[in-house]
Amino acid sequence: MALVPLTIPSYVLASIFRDAFAPSGVIGTFFLDRGEAFTGFWASVIVLTLACTPYAHLLVGAALARCPIREEEAARVMGANGITVFRYILVPRLKGPLMYAFLLVTLYVVSDFGAVAVLDCDVLTWELYKQRNGRSVFGVGLMLLLVVAPLIAGVRYLRSDESEEFAVGDAVVSRVELSPLSRGFAYALYGVFATVGCLMPIVFVTAWVLDGLANSVGFTSLWGAASMTAIYALVGGLVVCALSIVIGWALSGSTRHRKLLDIMVYVPSSLPGILIAVGCLQLTVGLARQASELKSLMDFLESSSVILLLAFTMRFLATGYAALRPAFNRLDPQKDLAARSLGASRWQRWRWIRLPSLAPSIAVAFALTFLSIAKELPITLTLAPLDQKTLAYHIFDAQAEGDLPDVGLASLCLVSIILVMQTTVQSWRRRYE
């Protein structure tokens, strides 16, 4: 339930909160009747906190699931209560994941583009987009790189102990159930979060669409934008998964340069999307100025969306690789050796041994990449051909023009595409689990 808000892009959340908390909005009329718009720094903090909480939940939840249960049981046998167990057993093991979640969320917030743009908060990502064709683009880009560099270094330092974290092995034992009061509080908290992060946005965008229908507003056709969103996300997801499989397999059999290659995968994906987009744009423009042959080639690559897909791959390669790497680490070499001794070819070993073992993780990698590309805004705004706009592009344009019915319809289409793909991938994943 806590992961449901992942389907709602941050810029859609920002549009909803800006409208709801406006002086004449549904909520602003009752609580914020001060004649002030819901924009600026604190508005961005609220929206980004809601958008980033699922990422922290994923990391902390995974860390809790890996905590040794036997230590908790031993402590309870010796008379320790829940608070003591939490303080002396869980907290020490959660320090690393919590710090990693903090750095990752901070990196996400620094890299965010859509929410801060909708809420009129002047930050480096928005300034870089405005200066993408200006003389100050390199200076702003360098400043943004200097800001994110320490965060990237911190994330990589904390990930260096990941293998030891996964190496904790304990028998699977049922955890102690929560008391009715604690369980009720936990479910209520989840319910509030899911309501504010997902149910309320869907209700609001649906209301915008119904309001447009009631007032006979002419909606823009979304077939083209929806098709391009699905195509970009599908192709980009397949490319990222294919590269992640190749890289994961290559690194699983190599230990000499593993850390260096690992960093080469993660660092480009840690950069803000707008920084990657502007870098690709400036590189394309610079090469096009060198010679007429290069200009023709760059125009072709840009019009055919090759550069856009390249930027997507750079931005989200680590997303797919991170989902697949643990699966490669868990492959049983004994099965592969047994199949080889029986005369199985390399393709047969891949088809009948490795692929079924990797299939659930491949599904997760594809779903995460599809979700990320479908919601991606700055790369699409900067590099997408004018005749190939996506739903994210359309939502941003419609919001800038104040056309809320169009924003609502495009948002519903985007969420529907994401949910359909997630449902399909989950059903395929269960076949191999």
Supply the Cα-derived Rg of the chain in whole angstroms: 24
pLDDT tens-digit map of 150-204: 877 776 666 655 444 443 444 444 556 667 887 888 788 878 877 877 788 888 9
**Contact present, 32 and 38 (Cβ < 8 Å):** yes
The answer to whether the 1-163 and 218-433 domains have the same CATH topology is yes
Which residue stretches of the chain have pLDDT < 70? 1-5, 31-35, 59, 62-63, 65-68, 155-178, 252-258, 428-433
175: tokens are 């955890």
428: tokens are 């395929």
Cα angle, residue 44 at apex, residues 40 and 49 outer, rounded to 5°: 160
Query: pTM of the full predicted structure?
Result: 0.81
Report d(CA 403, CA 400) in Å as an integer: 8
**Contact present, 158 and 100 (Cβ < 8 Å):** yes
**How many other CB atoms are found less than 10 A from the CB of residue 333?**
9
pLDDT at residue 167, as a whole number: 39
pLDDT at residue 175, as a whole number: 56
CATH number of 218-433: 1.10.3720.10
Q: Where are the alpha helices (DSSP H) in 32-161?
A: 41-66, 69-77, 82-85, 91-111, 114-118, 124-130, 137-159
What residue spans define the domains of the chain? 1-163, 218-433
pLDDT at residue 173, as a whole number: 44
pLDDT at residue 38, as a whole number: 81
From the candidate CATH numbers 3.40.190.10, 3.90.550.10, 1.10.3720.10, 3.30.1360.120, the one assigned to the domain spanning 1-163: 1.10.3720.10
